[in-house]
Structure formats: C-alpha cells, structure tokens
Amino acid sequence: MKKSFWIGLVLLVLIIGGVLAWRLLSPQGAEATPGAVSSIPSTDRLAAAKAEPLTVGGIGGYTLANVDLGDGSVPLLRIPLDTWGGYAALFAANGGIKASKDSVFYKKHGFAVEFVPEESAQAQLDGFAAGRYVAIWSSMDTLPLLYEALRSDRRVVPQVIGLFDWSVGGDGILVRDFIRKPQDLKGKTILTSSPSAYSFFLLWYLAQLDISPLDVKVVHVDDGDQALETFRDNKGIAAWVTWTPYLTDAVDKASAGFVPDTRLLITSRDANQLIADVIVARNDFVKDNPAIAAGLVDGLFAGYDLIQAGNAQAFSAMAEFYKLPGGAAEARSMLDEVHLATLPETEMFLALDNPIGAHKVFLLSQEYYKMLGIMPASSSWEPDRVLYSAAVEAARASGQYTMQKNTIQNSFNREAGLDINDLENQRLVLAADIKLYFEAQKLDFDPDADTEEILQNLRHLGRVAEQMDILGTTIVKLVGHLDTSRVEDFRSQGPQAFIEASAQAKLISKRRAEFVKTVLVERFGIDADRVITEGRGWDEPLDTLDPDANRRVEVQFLSFE
C-alpha cells in the first residue's frame, strides 16, 4: 500500500500530463515509432488533466484540543495519517491510536496525541491551513510548492521539524525491453500513476541523463490498477513510474500484475536518500510551543528504539488503523520499503553540507518546478525558511539516543562489490558517456592543472561523484574506450597484427579507466570498493564517421538489489 499524495505534486503531474499530453493526441505526436502511444484508454481523462492553482480551503489560526487522562487537562494533538509504513515510530511512541497515559508524548512531554485517518492530501492541507491540524506529513521535494502556496500568511509557513523515513524500494521506474540504455528514454512516452514523489523521482532521473522533461511525453493515470492496464495494453509506452506492489508484480511471472517484456530500471532502494518523508508543523505553533514540537520529534526517536527492541504494539495499532487484512504481520512488512530515520540520520539529512539532504532536495525540486512553470521563474526560496532544527538539537542534547547509528549512509553492499563474478548480469541503473581529456600517448592527466580541458574533466567527475552519493546502493563500473582512428591501419596489417593491437587498445583503455578511478577515490573521496574498471578499446564505437568521438569513459551504475 502506498501513501496519499500532496496536491502540490498533483500539479506537477498535471502540468506534465496535461500540458504535454496534447503532443500525444496530435497527429504529429502519434507517429508509429517505439515509445509512441497508439491508443491510450480513456484519453478524455488525459484531455481533462490541466494545471490548476494550488489552493487551500482557507487560512486561520490554530486551536489545540485538550484531554484529561486522569492527571488533569493536557494539550491534545490530532495528527492526520494516510496508509504508509514510515509512520511506525510514531505509532510505537504513542502506544496505539488514541491518546494514552502510556505514550512517550504523555509520560515525557506532558501532551497527548491522537491519529486521524485521512487519505486525502487536500483534506490534510486544508486542515493544516485552517488550524485543525498543527502537524502533517510531506515529502521534502514538495516543500517548495507548499511554501509558495502558504507564504502569504506567516502563521502557516510550513516548518520541517523532523524526518519520518526515506523510501527504500517503494518507488521505481519500469521500462520495456526496447529501452536498452537509460538514454533511450529521450523522445519516448512515460506513464506516471501517482502524483507524488514519483514525479520528482522521474525529473531527477531524467536530469541525470541530460534529458529535459520536455523531451519526453508523460501521461498520467491516477489509479494504480488503471495505470497497470494502460501500461499493459499500450506497448508503445516506454516506461512506467510506479510503486510497490505494482513495481515488483510487473516483473514477476507468477503475479496477476505481470507485464511481459518489462524490466526494472531503478528504484528508491538505489537512490535511497532521494525521497524523504518529513513531519511539518505550522510556523505559529512551533513558535508558541517549541517544547511540544521538540516532544513530537523526540517521540520519533523513542519510537524507533521501541521497534528495535521488539515492541510489537506499533504494528497491531497500524493494522487496526489501516484496516489491514493481514494484521500486524502485514503492518510489519510495510517497513520493507522504508527506512525509519534515527537521530544521527536526521542530523545528516538537515546538514547544510549533505549532498543529498534537505537543502539539496529543496533546491533541486524548486528548479524543476520553475523549469516546468509550476512555480514563478522569479521564485528563489532558501531552504532555511522551512527547516527548523531546534527539535532535533534538543533530542541530541538529551543524551538519550547515543546508541542510534547512521546506517543509511553506509548502505552500499560491500560483499557484493568485493565478490562479483559477472557484472553484465547486474541491473544497470544509470549510464553516461563522458569525454575526458587525455593528451595523446598519455594514460593520465594532471588534476591540478588549470587548463579548461582539465577543469572540464573535474566537472564531469564531480557529477559522477554526486550521482554516486545519491545512488547509495550501487557499484560503479568505469568502461574505457579509445578513439578508432588507427583501427583500419592495423586491420590492413593482417589478422595477427590487428588482434595484438586490439588487445593493447583494451589494456590502454583499462589503464585510463583505472586512472579515473584513482581521481574519484583520492580527489572526491569515493569508496574504492564501489568502483571497478574495464577496458573495451575499439570494440564499441559510438560514431563510425568521427573516430575522436569514440574516445570516452562510460560510467555504469549497477544495482545489486
């Protein structure tokens, strides 16, 4: 099961699916080429998909209820939740669904919490703006849109006070077999089936491929089951951005959701810090009640410890709250696709220098939305306006969570990286050809040189390092290729000369790839265990007419999940 989604990102998909969908329905967009849609069911739904302003039902001051649990009246926070495993620590801390004297919030901080079932993102947002709810969930990439919509009234400016979880495997992209390399997505049709972080995930992924979102055709079907039918029935749709269980069922021959000739391209387990779910509070509430805000966040860390200690009460409460037919066992299984955040992981997430943290995701998503016209081009909001670190700092100062560790930062599967037999059988998550400058007859370059060619080399490698940070569960394979200017010369000298020269070309390209690995390790701090090299020499030219275009290093991100 997957959580409900913010109206802000509904706009994102509606912009892509509505404003771009006319290209699918026009004669020019209906060419019978791979990736072009031939007949999409319910095209009237696509035609109806148009951008609407992000609106709220009305903004007002907040009110806190009170409850007497036997020791006098205390504040009661009603928190709306949809169906998502990332709230498990919250359930554990509260000891159930209703206000309780046994909850961490009551015993340690003197307030009570009650969970309200609310699958509608619009209803949650309206309740937040009107003051019925002082705290709600959001994905970090949604915050620019929420801030843009609510900034006119300082009372409701959203403040990220803590981190629930990261999605690790719950989100992903499926592709048809005719998509041989990720770059093949350019010009193709992509289906999205949920107006949420998947849209951000897709935008981020396209950016890694240097593909503009305007260079693909995105259609949107909101309902997961209907999206499955659309993908299955329209073989011209090249990719589907979806979530579990659709993600895993599509490649499982034993599943009713199986889609032939389809494979998994990438999941949030590979990009395991990209989609972060945060707890957001109203600005006026945080200023009036900093101790309660800190208590909410403290409860997340206390709840994490309870779950790690084997406390099963959270899963029983989740099963009851979500009406899960599989009971507590099904609730526990919901944690398979999320990573609950610890204190040091939350601190890492909020750190300014984190290349995948709250600041970076906020700025990235803001730029994507401006590019698509969802936010004004003049907008330039700082993440600091929505980040409130005092609650996390209070948890650190309490000294109670010194045993919690940062495990998501070290998520790379070292055993797989060190004991690998056939990399070609691993799942290719991302690939890019980069042209690095090497002087003729040289196997290296001086990374401290200030020539434009070397500076460009470092820019390329810096981007590779950044991608390695985000794709935290992958190994990187550097494949060296030589230019093909001498191939015909050696071929004319006979088979033996050509074979010897071809072998030498592979060795040279391998040594150049090894040098690139050294630069990544020594200059960019990349774990050497995550990088392996290969030389292909002349074997895989990109351009038969321009020999120099074939001098390159291919970077392949391979998943072991």
60-92 per-residue burial string, b: 16 or more CB within 10 A, e: under 16 = eebebeeeeeeeeebbbbbbbbbbbbbbbbbbb
CATH of the domain at 466: 3.30.1330.60
Residue 20: pLDDT band by 50, 70, 90 thresholds?
very low
Residue 243 confidence (pLDDT): 84
pLDDT of 208 strictly over 70? yes
Query: Do 16 and 146 share a domain, yes or no?
Result: no
Flag whether 473 is in a domain. Answer: yes
Residue type, 350: L
Tens of pLDDT, residue by residue over 409-437, are 877 766 655 455 555 567 889 988 888 88
Count of domains for the chain: 3
DSSP H helices, 15-156, are 21-25, 43-48, 88-94, 104-109, 121-130, 143-150
Boundary-marking domain end, from 374, 407, 440: 407
DSSP annotation of 449 reads -
- Together in a domain, 257 and 295: no
Query: Which of 21-25, 52-56, 68-72 shows the lowest per-residue confidence on average (mean pLDDT)?
Result: 21-25
Residue 373 lies in a domain: yes
pLDDT, position 177: 95
Q: Which tokens sit at 171? A: 């989100």
Whether 408 shows a pLDDT value over 60: the answer reads: yes
* pLDDT (0 to 100) of residue 86: 95
Q: Is 245 within a domain? A: yes
Give percent of the chain with pLDDT exceeding 90.
56
Same domain, yes or no, for 228 and 281? no
Measured at the CA of 195, the angle between CA 363 and CA 42, to 5 degrees, comes to 145
- Say yes or no to pLDDT of 318 above 90: yes
pLDDT tier at 11 (50, 70, 90 boundaries)? Answer: very low
Same domain (yes/no): 324, 390:
yes
- Give residue for tokens 């996390």: 392
The dihedral formed by the CA atoms of 291, 297, 301 and 306, expressed in degrees to the nearest 10: 80
**CB distance 217 to 29 below 8 Å:** yes
Per-residue pLDDT at 180 exceeds 80: yes
List the strands of the sheet with 427-434, edge to edge. Answer: 427-434, 552-559, 474-481, 531-537
For residues 382 and 279, give the distance between their C-alpha atoms in angstroms, rounded to a whole number.
19
3-state helix, strand, coil in the chain (%, to 5): 45, 20, 35
Q: Are residues 437 and 551 in the same domain?
A: yes
Asked if 252 and 113 count as a contact pair (C-beta separation under 8 A), the reply is no
Q: Most confidently modeled of 2-11, 315-324, 474-483?
A: 315-324
Q: For position 417, what pLDDT does the model report?
A: 55
How many whole angstroms separate alpha carbon 9 and alpha carbon 145? 8
Q: What is the pLDDT of residue 463?
A: 92
Q: Which residues contact 410 (CB under 8 A, 6 or more apart)?
A: none
Q: In what helix (H) or strand (E) does residue 462 lie, and over which residues does it extend?
A: helix 452-470
Span 143-163, average pLDDT: 93
Residue 68 has pLDDT above 90, yes or no: yes
Q: Clarify whether residues 541 and 496 are in a common domain.
A: yes
pTM of this structure: 0.82
pLDDT the model gives residue 338? 94
* pLDDT, position 241: 92
Assign 194 a pLDDT band (cuts: 50, 70, 90).
Answer: low
Whether the predicted pLDDT of 197 surpasses 50: no
Q: Given a cut of 60, is residue 43 above it in pLDDT?
A: no
Query: Are 240 and 368 contained in the same domain?
Result: no
- Last-in-domain residue among 267, 296, 327: 267
The DSSP bridge pattern shows strands 262-267 and 171-176 to be antiparallel
What's the pLDDT score for residue 186? Answer: 95
Q: Are residues 159 and 293 in the same domain?
A: yes
CA 160-165-171 angle, to 5 degrees, is 115
Same domain, 455 and 392: no
When pLDDT is averaged across residues 222-250 and rounded to a whole number, the result is 89
Residue 346 lies in a domain: yes
| More confident: 122 or 187 | 187
Any domain includes 287: yes
Banded model confidence at residue 19, pLDDT cuts 50, 70, 90: very low
Q: Span 66-86, mean pLDDT? A: 95
List pLDDT tens digits, range 275-309.
Answer: 999 999 999 999 999 999 999 999 999 999 999 99
Evaluate the CA torsion angle 293, 299, 300, 301 in order and state its sign.
positive
pLDDT tens per residue across span 487-520? 788 778 887 887 888 788 888 889 989 999 999 9
Instruction: Report yes or no on 2 lying in a domain.
Output: no
Q: What CATH number does the domain containing 342 carry? A: 3.40.190.10
For residue 487, tell me if it sits in a domain: yes
Its domain, for residue 33, covers 7-52+169-267
- pLDDT number for residue 245: 83
Q: Are residues 522 and 441 in the same domain?
A: yes
Whether 59 is covered by a domain: the verdict is no
pLDDT at 76 over 90: yes
pLDDT in tens, 349-406: 999 988 889 999 999 988 888 887 778 888 889 999 999 999 999 999 999 999 999 9
Average pLDDT, rounded, for the chain: 84
508 and 459 together in one domain? yes
Chosen domain end from 359, 374, 407: 407
Residue 156 and residue 215 in one domain: no
Look at 16-30, 81-95, 100-114 and tell me which has the smallest mean pLDDT: 16-30
Decide which of 237 and 43 is more confident.
237
Closest residue by Cα to residue 509 from 534, 490, 541, 530: 534
